[in-house]
Structures are given as C-alpha cells and as structure tokens.
C-alpha cells in the first residue's frame, strides 16, 4: 500500500520541470569546481564566474553570452537541461506615464526596482558534460531586446529571470560550500541529492536502501554541513522569488497594465464598474474603517535575526543587479553577494538559548525599522493618490494601525508578566521616538526656507518664536527654528516617558536644551505642530516641500502615536476564574466561586460590579498568581495614562465558554482601576475600561458564540458600557484550535456559520461587529492568501473593520522585504474595501443549497477526522513517534512552551498539545494533515449517498457550481489544493517507519494514505483539474522545484531522529535535527 502511495505521489508531483516543461536531469548538480586560477580567491574570475554585463537598449542585439561548465546540485530544479543552448532574453518594459505623483515615484529608479531599460542577468548556459579545466567559451547571439513583447511572452519567458536568479545564487552557495568545507563534503551533498531524487521519482527500493545506508555513515560534522547546504538553498530561493514578485509588479506598472487584483486601484475600478464607488460611499467607508494587523510571537518562528539581516542584504544586492551597472560595478556587486553568502555560511543558524520575551520584542521591532515605519505612511499616500485619480475624496483618516501581542499575551506563557508588558511598551516607544527625532532632524536640514524670499503663516511664526534656537544664522529661517522647537519638545517627551538617555538626542542648536523643553502631552499635540508647518508651506507655494518627508512623518505620528502599536492583553478564562475565586473568598463574599453554577456566578459578579467598594484589601496577602495577574492590569492602567488609551485597549479572553468568562475580566478591571465607576447599579457610570473580547476556539464554542454574546448584551449595565465603546464590540475567532478540534473542513464551516450568526445578532441589537481573525501561517491554521481569505468571508462580516493576526512564523516572509511588505499591507486594505462595499459578490443565488451541502460535508468530515485523531487507539503514540514533535519542543524557538501542560509520556494527550506545534509537526513530516484530512471521505460519502446516478450527477454539478460561484468554497478548495501540492506520501512513509509498533504504523498510515487519495480524487472531480495547482502554474513550479532540496532534509531528519531516540547524545546530532527543522520550514515557506 505504501509503495503504491509512493508511486502515486511521485506521479502527482511529477518531475521538476523547467521553463520549457522538460524533465529535469537528476544528474545536474550545484555549484562549480573552483577554477585553478582563482583557488586563492585572487586574480580574475574564472569563465563561469564572469560578471553579467549590462545590456543597453542599443547594444543588446550584439551582446553575447558566455557558456559555462555545468553547475551542480542547486542548479537542478531551476536550470535543468533546457538552460544549455538557451539564448539571452532581455526584458523589455514599456514606460507609460500616468501623470500622477504616484506613477512618478514608482517609475523612479531605485535599488529595489528595475528601470524601463533594466539589464537582464547574463544568460549563461552549460553543457551537460564537464570539460576539463573549465569550458572553452562559446557565444550565442541573444534575441533583439526591441522585438521582445511583454504581452506576447509565455509564462516561462516571464519566469526565466527568476530561474536565473536562483541558479546564480545557487552557484554562489555551491562555491562557498566548496571553499569552506572542501570537495569531500560537496560531493557527499551531491550524492545524497541524486539518490533522494531517484527515490522520489522511481520509488526505487534500492535507492531507498542506498540512501539509508549513506545517511547512517555520515559523521555528525558531515551531517551538519549537508543540512546547512540544503537549508540555505531554500532561503536563497525564497529571496529570489520575492525579488521576482517585485520585478513582475514593476513591469506591469511600467507597461501601463490594468491594476492587479489586491491593489486599491483594482478595488476602486471593480467598485466603480459595479456602481458602488460614489464619493459619499468611499468617504463613509474610510471614516468608519479600522484595519489592524496584530503581530504575534508563536513557538514556530525559527529564523534568527542575524540570518534575516544577512538575507535582507542579499535581497538588496540581488535587486541591484536589475539596474544598468558597469562591469566594475557588477563585479563589485557579486563580490558583496559572495561575502554575504559566506556570512550566512559562517553564521550560526540556531539559537544557543531559548528566546526570552525581550528577544521577541526586539525581533518584532526590527520589522518596524525595515518596513512598517516607512511603508505604512507610503501606503497611505498611494491610497490617497488612487482615490484622487478616481475623482474621489483624497484625504483619509488614520484607519490602518498596528497591533501586537508580544509582551501582553500571557495565555500559557508564564514568562509574560507586568515587567514584560512594561518592556514592550518602552521599547516600542523608544523606536518610534527615535524615528520621529531622526525625521525632524532631517527636516531641519531640508527646510532651509527663508522669509526674506517667501512668506510664512502667523501660526508658523509663533512656533518659530517659541523655539529655543538662538542662532543668528537662522533668524530668517522660520521652518528650521520651528523644527528645533519641535525637536526639543519631542526629546523632552521621550525623557519623561522613558527616562534619561533612553533615546539618543542630537544637539538641537545653539542655546537649546532639549530636556528642559515642555514635553508634548500626547501625540496629537505633536501632529498639530507638524500640521502648522504643512499648512504654511501649502499657502506659500511650498506644498511640494512637504511631500518627501514632512507629510509621511505627520501620517506616521497619526498612526503610531507615542506607543507605535497597541498591545493586546490575553489570558485564559480559567486563570481569571481562579483569581476571582481567590478575591471573593479572601473578601468573605463567596467561599467556593469556581464550584457555582453559571447563573450564581453571574449573580455574584454583577453584585460586585455594582458595588463601589473593592474586593481586594491592602491588608491581606494574595497568591503569586493573583498578584501577577492584577499586576499586569495595574501596569496597563499606568501605561494608558502615560502613552494614551490606544497603547493598551483590548483584553482577549482565551477559551471563552460562558458569559461569566467575560464578566470576570470586567471585575478584574474594576479592582485595578482600569474600569472606572460601577456597572448595573442606579446612576452607574462605567467607562474607560479595556474592551473585553471573547475568543471562541473550539467547534462547540463557535457554535455557542452568538448565544453567549446575546446573553452578555442583556446583562444590566452592558448597554451603557457599549455606548462608551461607540456601540462597537469585537469578537475573536480561533482558527488553530478549531482545526485541531474538528478538522480542516469543519473548522472553516463552523467559523463561517458563527460569523453569520454574530452578524444577525449584532444587526438586531444595533451594535457594530468587528471580527478579529486569529489566522495562522499555514492553511490548517487559517492561513493562505489574505486577499482571498477576506473576500471569502460571509456577507456583512467585514463591514469596514477587521483585525487579524500576523503570526510570528510568517512575519519574516511577509514583511522583511519592504516592497513585499507594502504589497501585503495594501492587499488587506483592498480586500476590506471590496468585501465591505461589494458584499453581494459573496452571496450567490443558490446559497441555501450550497450551505445545506456544506453542512452535510462538514458533519461527515468531522466524524472522519475525530475518528482518526481522537478515537483511534494508539493514535497519540503514532503522532509522537512519527513526527518530530518532541524535537520541536526542544528547539529554542520562542519564549512560549509548546504545550499548555507538561508532557508526561505516559499520560500525554493530543488535547493538551498546542495547536501551533501540532500543525508544525505535520508539516515537517510532509503530510500537512491539518489542511485536508476528512474532505475526501466526506465528498465520497455525499456522492455515494445519492439514490441513483442521476442524483449523483446533480450533486457533482452542485459542488462544481459551489466552486465557481461561491468564494468561500472556492477559497477553501484553493487552499487545500496548495496543501496537497506540498504533501509527499513517499517521504511521509519514512517518518511512519519511526513508529515501533508495526501494526499501529500500518493501520494509521494506510488510513491517512487512503484519505489523501480520496481527497485528491474529490478535488479533481470538483475542479476538473487532475494536476495540483493547475490554476497557479508558477506556484506549482515553485513547490516542485523545492522538492529535490527538501527531500534530503526530510531523509536526514528521519535518520537523525532515529539516532537521537536510540540514545545518541552527541550535541552535533541534536543540532543537526534542529537544523533540518529550520530548513524544512524555510523550504515550505511557512512553519506552524
């Protein structure tokens, strides 16, 4: 059965094919043998290292491309035999001016964007057989750049630069491996790769035995080097893919193509065509909108900051190669790239110690410096210019803000305390103050406007007069004098909030003493001063002077305030109950609160909320738990007074199962001063508290969500509380735990149903609903493309407001690159705009029939999933044996434990395991079970349950129509398609061999294999596509091209786990396991 599954998997995955669809040659390899003349690293580069020369618009037809000796290992998946004898394909871009400032900015040449006449990387090809001492150079005339037609080019032509970049980076890595480790290690890497490819494609038992024998013979030192080689290729391939996405978007922009889906311009075009883009409608949308990505730090974030920094430099240098460079500049660029790849190789990939919360805070802040501080204000500018181009109101409020759980998420993490909350807000504030001070300083250098030449407003003159600057050289420069005053007040603002010396401060000018200036009471005062400068420039012919720096700074101040990101507090409901029970017992109110029925709990809680007297006494001592929990809330109260209410404004209640879970947090806020006044009593005036946000996670909780909220709204005093919240209430939905509880299909369906029930309830009560989506990085945890995910939400659930988690494991891939980061941010805005103003697009006419079919499928899928995971005897042992879950728990990834409870091997349960490492483990063994299991059997049961062939045909037709006209169902199938493309039953069968009980191994694995085939068959019958990702060939190729480098990592991981579990305590062996975990995660481009 396993052999058949392996062969079927190989057929489905196919062979990695290149741009012309040719079968890749498994004998091709990566790197290149060092040319004798350059063995020392000095002297001219060998022929295969010759720098790619610029192709100008005039000499492109005459330019020749040198042939090179074959590259080994890393060239395989992207080069293949089609690269020899291919010609150079210079990219042709068409410049079309849109006449807007945005077009001007985007068409400007930058280090991260290709200009209209950008040179292509040299098209070097290789013969399939090595020639001694390097190959004699041959040249082939490239095609004429002028004759290239972007719109007539094939997909393969468009993707050729991507393959060339991967091949180029692979060559650099191969050179570094040979240089650093020697020929022996290089050859071991190549032999393992070839054998793994043979095992994958041919299900060759001899190859499997050879591979196993080879891996057993590896020394610990060799193992580490081999794993690092394959892992770093995955990292470099990711960089090349990101670069290609940016390149393609720029080519579209330069060619004057229609706006692409996922952009605000596309959303506006779509709404205008549907008649939904009136000025009034758009204005109302942005006035009521609130979009907040919330950064989290979960225990599957595997990349060190040092590695990310090196990758950022490599990405920047790779982007420079799209610019017209001289031969000397290009050689210098390659030298820098080689140095950074060498830095990667010589940098420790793993952390020596587990991350602390402080480390996680700093990691998150690095993305603000790299992306958010500059790109979010730039996104606002893009949005406003897109609106202006459509003749719509241009100025929008600060509707897009940032959130964070890092430092405030205590659920299951005892390392998060009041001290870490304090650390988080102080470090956030330090980063934003440093940014403001630096930008104001630079503005002072730029705005050298003299009032001898141009006037200034009275308000600006007053601001300048209040400045401490006494220099006679700036008497006629009111803007500079005003900015010195602004700088000193900012510096004073930082000092009073963070302490002396927390933020570096420059000299603000002669006679200035920054720390003695009057600090700003809040960020709004700072914005008001900046607005004085902007308004004065606007009325005195200087509006253009505000565009480069002043306008983005003012927008940043509106968005980030003095706190940078709003920190959510989160804790589990059972902890709240324990603290409340202690307060009530020590206060003599209720001796055993936890044992009370729900109605009595509410009676006690409401009485305490209506009583102005506190439960807590300063004369009594309380448990460490109570003191810690109350200390966090007290610190939150102080933070709000110090940095403003936006700094901490939400409290997430994990495992919300009853109404009392919500009311308990209101009482805790009252006890710590966050919640002012009383609730429910005559003349009560409850106000200023944190919004209590229920988190519904399990299938049962999702089904009860609307009933719980209905009962909460009916409580005395809650109506007044909602009025203080602007008649808004947020509800969080958990994707990870619901998937672990009920499986992929049922999780998605119950989330959909819960959202619809909440929409109906909130509409009935006249309350605005804001949903907070706890999406993970993988499909099994609610991941997948954000744009499609938002558009597939049920009608009426978005309504201009949305919060969604950006999980720690995917933050790097989405936001490390500034250009990719801005695109991801814009996607959320565009999708929210479309989903809000055109919700009818997600409500097909046959929706009742669709929903009935989904309910039938969901019931069957959940039964199948739970039968496997929770009802199969021995499944827990199978899971812990056949996946690297134990080793993942040991990896120093995050500050948060992998389990909510300590794992006793004799009593461990799936229920106690966190959903995130649960999904992470299935990804590592290449089954990704959380993203598909149960669907195939459910569809088969639905179709086989038809009484006759005619009815079966009707059911098939209904499923196909659901896929074509219902975004929810189409998105579900699209995500499942992607997951199936990443699975590999042949590789997974090797992990199954880790299960000692042969009978258990055979029973469970064969069930999984059978369901995989049922799922693939069902998907094919519904979509009509036999191949995986037929609608997304670029992604399909990207995934397939990774397999030759992922497979060896998996095989190595299995072998190393065997040794580790057999008692081998070698430190290098453990390090090798952890390196494979890192490399596989990078290759799959997500983790948990």
Grouping H, G, I as helix, E, B as strand and the rest as coil, residue 455 is coil
Looking at residue 1036, its pLDDT comes to 86
Q: Which residues contact 664 (CB under 8 A, 6 or more apart)?
A: 573, 576, 577, 580, 605
Alpha helices (runs of H) in 255-372, residue ranges in sequence order: 264-273, 279-288, 305-320, 327-346, 357-367
Grouping H, G, I as helix, E, B as strand and the rest as coil, residue 1087 is coil
Choose among 684, 642, 692: nearest CA to 668: 692
698-724 burial, b for 16+ CB within 10 Å, e for fewer? bbebbebbbebbbbbbebebbeebbee
Sign of the C-alpha dihedral computed for residues 833, 837, 841 and 842 taken in this order: positive
Q: How confident is the model at residue 810 (pLDDT cuts 50, 70, 90)?
A: confident
For 261-292, the pLDDT digits (tens) are: 999 999 999 998 888 778 889 999 999 999 99
CB 997 within 8 A of CB 877: yes
For 931-957, the pLDDT digits (tens) are: 999 999 999 999 999 999 999 999 999
Q: Does residue 105 register a pLDDT over 50?
A: no
Ramachandran region of residue 807, left (φ > 0), alpha (ψ -120 to 50) or beta? beta
Sign of the C-alpha dihedral computed for residues 484, 488, 494 and 500 taken in this order: positive
Spatial distance between the Cα atoms of 649 and 667, rounded to a whole number of angstroms: 16
Range with the poorest average pLDDT among 199-213, 824-838, 1031-1045 = 199-213
For 214-227, the pLDDT digits (tens) are: 888 888 889 999 99
Q: Does residue 558 register a pLDDT over 50?
A: yes
Calculate the average pLDDT of the chain: 83
Other residues' Cβ atoms within 10 Å of the Cβ of residue 450: 14
For 251-262, the pLDDT digits (tens) are: 988 998 999 999
Q: How confident is the model at residue 812 (pLDDT cuts 50, 70, 90)?
A: confident
Looking at residue 869, its pLDDT comes to 97
Cα–Cα–Cα angle for 886, 889, 894, nearest 5°? 165
- What radius of gyration, in Å, describes the C-alpha atoms of the chain? 30
Spatial distance between the Cα atoms of 303 and 1078, rounded to a whole number of angstroms: 7
Choose among 902, 923, 929: nearest CA to 914: 902
- What is the biggest distance separating any 2 CA atoms in the chain, rounded to whole angstroms? 96
Q: How confident is the model at residue 1085 (pLDDT cuts 50, 70, 90)?
A: confident
Q: How confident is the model at residue 1035 (pLDDT cuts 50, 70, 90)?
A: confident
Grouping H, G, I as helix, E, B as strand and the rest as coil, residue 493 is helix
Q: How confident is the model at residue 722 (pLDDT cuts 50, 70, 90)?
A: very high
Spatial distance between the Cα atoms of 720 and 726, rounded to a whole number of angstroms: 10
Spatial distance between the Cα atoms of 1066 and 1053, rounded to a whole number of angstroms: 15
Looking at the DSSP bridge assignments, the partners of residue 126 are: 68
Q: What is the mean pLDDT of residues 988-1011?
A: 97
Range with the poorest average pLDDT among 59-63, 204-208, 313-317, 841-845 = 59-63
CB 374 within 8 A of CB 818: yes
Q: Which residues contact 902 (CB under 8 A, 6 or more apart)?
A: none
Q: What is the mean pLDDT of residues 735-741?
A: 91
Per-residue H/E/C for 94-107: CCCCCCCHHHHHHH
Residues serving a catalytic function are 298, 740
CB 564 within 8 A of CB 428: yes
Looking at the DSSP bridge assignments, the partners of residue 403 are: 294, 566
Looking at residue 780, its pLDDT comes to 44
Q: What is the mean pLDDT of residues 287-316?
A: 84
For 659-688, the pLDDT digits (tens) are: 999 999 999 999 999 988 888 777 666 777
Q: DSSP letter for 618, please.
A: T
Q: What is the pTM of this model?
A: 0.84
Looking at residue 207, its pLDDT comes to 82
Spatial distance between the Cα atoms of 425 and 845, rounded to a whole number of angstroms: 49
Looking at residue 1088, its pLDDT comes to 40
Range with the poorest average pLDDT among 626-630, 863-867, 1076-1080 = 1076-1080
For 506-527, the pLDDT digits (tens) are: 865 555 444 479 999 999 999 9
For 55-93, the pLDDT digits (tens) are: 333 333 333 333 333 333 333 333 333 322 223 333 333
Looking at residue 302, its pLDDT comes to 53
For 360-419, the pLDDT digits (tens) are: 999 899 999 999 999 999 999 999 999 999 888 789 999 999 999 999 999 989 999 999
Q: Does residue 839 register a pLDDT over 90?
A: no
For 182-241, the pLDDT digits (tens) are: 999 989 988 888 888 787 777 677 887 888 888 888 888 899 999 999 999 988 998 999
CB 141 within 8 A of CB 85: no
Q: Does residue 141 register a pLDDT over 50?
A: no
Q: Which residues contact 544 (CB under 8 A, 6 or more apart)?
A: none
Spatial distance between the Cα atoms of 647 and 565, rounded to a whole number of angstroms: 7
For 576-633, the pLDDT digits (tens) are: 999 999 999 999 999 999 999 999 999 999 999 999 999 999 999 999 999 999 999 9
Q: 736 is written with which tokens?
A: 């990870």
Q: How confident is the model at residue 703 (pLDDT cuts 50, 70, 90)?
A: very high
Q: Can you list the positions of beta strands (E) in 180-302?
A: 290-295
Q: Can you list the positions of beta strands (E) in 325-435?
A: 403-404
Looking at residue 899, its pLDDT comes to 57
DSSP string, 245-278: HHHHHHHHHHTTPPPPTTSHHHHHHHHHHTT---
749-783 burial, b for 16+ CB within 10 Å, e for fewer? bbbbbbbbbbbebbeebebbbbbbbbbbbbbbbbb
Q: Does residue 136 register a pLDDT over 70?
A: no
């Amino acid at each position: 059965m396993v052999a058949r599954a392996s062969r079927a998997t190989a057929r489905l995955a196919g062979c990695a094919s290149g741009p012309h669809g040719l079968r890749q040659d498994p004998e091709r390899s990566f790197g290149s043998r060092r040319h004798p003349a350059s063995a020392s690293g000095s002297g001219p580069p060998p022929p295969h290292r010759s720098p790619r020369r610029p192709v100008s618009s005039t000499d492109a037809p005459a330019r020749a491309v040198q042939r090179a000796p074959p590259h080994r290992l890393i060239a395989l998946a992207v080069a293949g035999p089609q690269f020899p004898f291919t010609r150079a394909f210079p990219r042709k871009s068409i410049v079309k001016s849109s006449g807007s400032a945005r077009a001007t900015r985007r068409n400007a040449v930058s280090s991260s964007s290709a200009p209209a006449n950008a040179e292509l990387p040299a098209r070097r090809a290789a013969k399939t057989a090595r020639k001694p001492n390097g190959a004699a150079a041959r040249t082939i005339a490239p095609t004429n750049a002028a004759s290239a037609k972007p719109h007539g080019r094939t997909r393969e032509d468009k993707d050729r630069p991507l393959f060339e970049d991967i091949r180029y980076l692979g060559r650099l890595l191969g050179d570094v491996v040979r240089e650093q480790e020697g020929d022996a290690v290089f050859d071991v890497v190549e032999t393992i790769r070839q054998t793994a490819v043979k095992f994958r494609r041919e299900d060759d038992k001899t190859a499997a035995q050879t591979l196993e024998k080879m891996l057993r013979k590896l020394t610990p030192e060799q193992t580490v080097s081999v794993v690092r080689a394959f892992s770093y290729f995955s990292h470099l391939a990711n960089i090349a893919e990101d670069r290609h996405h940016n390149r393609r978007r720029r080519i579209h922009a330069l060619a004057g193509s229609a706006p692409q889906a996922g952009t605000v311009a596309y959303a506006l075009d779509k709404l205008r065509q549907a008649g939904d883009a009136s000025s009034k409608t758009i204005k109302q949308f942005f006035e009521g909108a609130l979009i907040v990505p919330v950064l989290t730090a979960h225990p599957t974030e595997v990349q060190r900051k040092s590695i990310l920094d090196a990758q950022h430099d490599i990405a920047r240098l790779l982007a420079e190669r799209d610019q017209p460079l001289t031969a000397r500049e290009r050689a210098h660029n390659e030298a820098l790239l080689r140095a950074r790849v060498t830095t990667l190789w010589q940098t420790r990939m793993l952390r020596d110690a587990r991350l602390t919360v402080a480390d996680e805070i700093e990691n998150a802040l690095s993305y603000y410096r790299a992306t958010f501080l500059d790109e979010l204000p730039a996104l606002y500018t893009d949005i406003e210019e897109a609106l202006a181009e459509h003749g719509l109101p241009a100025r929008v409020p600060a509707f897009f803000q940032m959130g964070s759980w890092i430092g405030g998420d205590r659920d299951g993490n005892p390392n998060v305390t009041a001290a870490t909350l304090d650390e988080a807000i102080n470090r956030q504030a330090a980063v934003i103050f440093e940014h403001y001070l630096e930008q104001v300083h630079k503005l002072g250098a730029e705005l050298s406007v003299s009032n001898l030449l141009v006037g200034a407003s009275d308000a600006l003159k007053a601001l300048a007069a209040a400045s401490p600057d006494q220099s006679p050289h700036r008497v006629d420069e009111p803007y500079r004098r005003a900015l010195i005053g602004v700088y000193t007040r900012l510096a004073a603002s930082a000092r009073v909030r963070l302490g002396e010396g927390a933020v570096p401060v420059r000299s603000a000018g002669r006679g200035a003493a920054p720390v003695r200036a009057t600090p700003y009471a809040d960020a709004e005062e700072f914005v008001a001063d900046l607005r004085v400068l902007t308004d004065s420039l606007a009325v005195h012919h200087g509006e253009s002077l505000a565009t480069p720096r002043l306008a983005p700074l003012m927008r940043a101040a509106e968005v980030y305030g003095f706190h940078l990101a709003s920190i959510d507090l989160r804790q589990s409901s059972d902890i709240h109950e324990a603290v409340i029970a202690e307060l009530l017992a020590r206060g003599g109110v209720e001796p055993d609160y936890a044992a009370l029925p729900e109605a009595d709990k509410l009676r006690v809680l409401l009485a305490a909320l209506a009583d102005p007297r506190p439960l807590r006494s300063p004369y009594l001592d309380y448990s460490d738990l109570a003191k810690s929990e109350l200390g966090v809330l007290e610190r939150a109260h102080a933070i709000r007074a110090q940095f403003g209410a936006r700094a901490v404004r939400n409290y997430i209640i994990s495992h919300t199962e009853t109404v009392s879970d919500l009311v308990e947090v209101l009482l805790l806020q009252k006890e710590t001063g966050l919640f002012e006044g009383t609730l429910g009593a005559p003349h009560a005036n409850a106000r200023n508290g944190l919004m209590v946000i229920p988190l519904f996670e399990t299938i049962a909780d999702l089904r009860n969500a609307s009933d719980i909220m209905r009962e909460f709204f009916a409580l005395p005093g809650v109506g007044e509380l909602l009025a203080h919240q602007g008649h808004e209430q947020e509800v969080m939905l958990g994707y990870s735990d619901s998937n672990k509880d009920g499986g992929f299909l049922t999780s998605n369906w119950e989330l959909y149903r819960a959202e619809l029930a909440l929409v109906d309830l909130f509409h009935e009560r006249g309350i605005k609903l804001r949903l907070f989506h706890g999406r993970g990085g993988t499909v099994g945890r609610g991941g997948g493309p954000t744009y499609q995910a938002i558009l597939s939400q049920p009608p009426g659930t978005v309504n201009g407001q949305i919060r969604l988690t950006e999980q720690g494991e995917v933050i790097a891939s989405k936001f490390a690159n500034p250009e990719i980061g801005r695109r991801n941010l814009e996607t959320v805005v565009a999708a929210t705009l479309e989903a809000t103003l055109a919700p009818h697009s997600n409500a097909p006419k046959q929706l009742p029939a669709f929903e009935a079919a989904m309910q039938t499928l969901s019931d069957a899928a959940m039964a199948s999933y739970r039968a496997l995971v929770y009802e199969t005897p021995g499944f827990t042992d199978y899971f812990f044996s056949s996946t690297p879950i134990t080793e993942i728990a040991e990896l120093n990834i995050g500050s948060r434990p992998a389990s909510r409870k300590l794992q006793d091997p004799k009593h461990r349960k799936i229920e106690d395991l966190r959903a995130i490492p649960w999904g992470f483990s299935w990804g590592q063994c290449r089954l990704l079970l959380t993203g598909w299991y149960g669907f195939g059997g459910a569809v088969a049961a639905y179709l086989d349950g038809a009484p006759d062939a005619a009815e079966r045909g009707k059911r098939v037709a209904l499923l196909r129509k659901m896929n074509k006209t219902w975004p929810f169902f189409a998105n579900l199938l699209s995500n499942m398609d992607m997951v199936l493309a990443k699975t590999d039953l042949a590789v997974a069968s090797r992990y199954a061999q880790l299960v000692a009980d042969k009978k258990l191994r055979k029973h469970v694995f064969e069930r999984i294999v059978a369901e995989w085939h049922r799922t693939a068959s069902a998907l094919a019958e519904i979509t009509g596509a036999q191949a995986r990702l037929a609608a997304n060939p670029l992604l399909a190729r990207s995934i397939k091209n990774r397999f030759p480098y992922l497979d060896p990592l998996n095989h190595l991981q299995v072998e190393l786990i065997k040794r580790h579990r057999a008692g081998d305590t070698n430190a290098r062996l453990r390090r090798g396991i952890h390196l494979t975990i890192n490399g596989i995660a990078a290759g799959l481009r997500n983790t948990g």
